[in-house]
Amino acid sequence: MGNEKLDQLYRSVIMDHYKTPRNKGVLESSNVTIDMNNPTCGDVIHLTLQVENDIVKDAKFEGEGCSISMASASMMTQLIKGKNTEDAVNAAHAFSDMMLGKELDDSMDLGDIEALTGVAKFPARIKCATLPWKAMEKGITSDSE
């Protein structure tokens, strides 16, 4: 597939998650709640997780921000549901590496999240994409301490 067609496909996946976000809302049964913002662009994320026995049973988010941050939150909540907390944190690290333009480990399937690879070309937007991931990692790691 040519770069132009791939870019268009990625844009359509991002816009789909932005316009029809998955897992949007607040978990009433959450035991992990994190609020984070990106002061440089105004993105805000409110992430609620239900973590039991080191498994992310459920994840929801609310927030305001650009299409990149909201689509990233939608994709992230889809990916981490059902994963153990270590795998969720490892996915956050892999996502961070991807945003820095590093090669991804082929053994990790990031699904729709790979649509965000193009963000690495726009350094100002990397913080938008990583905000929900940093919130999730902070919530999981502070919960387990």
**By percentage, how much of the chain surpasses pLDDT 70?**
97
The pTM for the full model equals 0.92
How many residues are listed for the chain in this entry?
A: 145
Per-residue model confidence as pLDDT tens digits over 61-110: 999 999 999 999 999 999 999 999 999 999 999 999 999 988 877 777 77
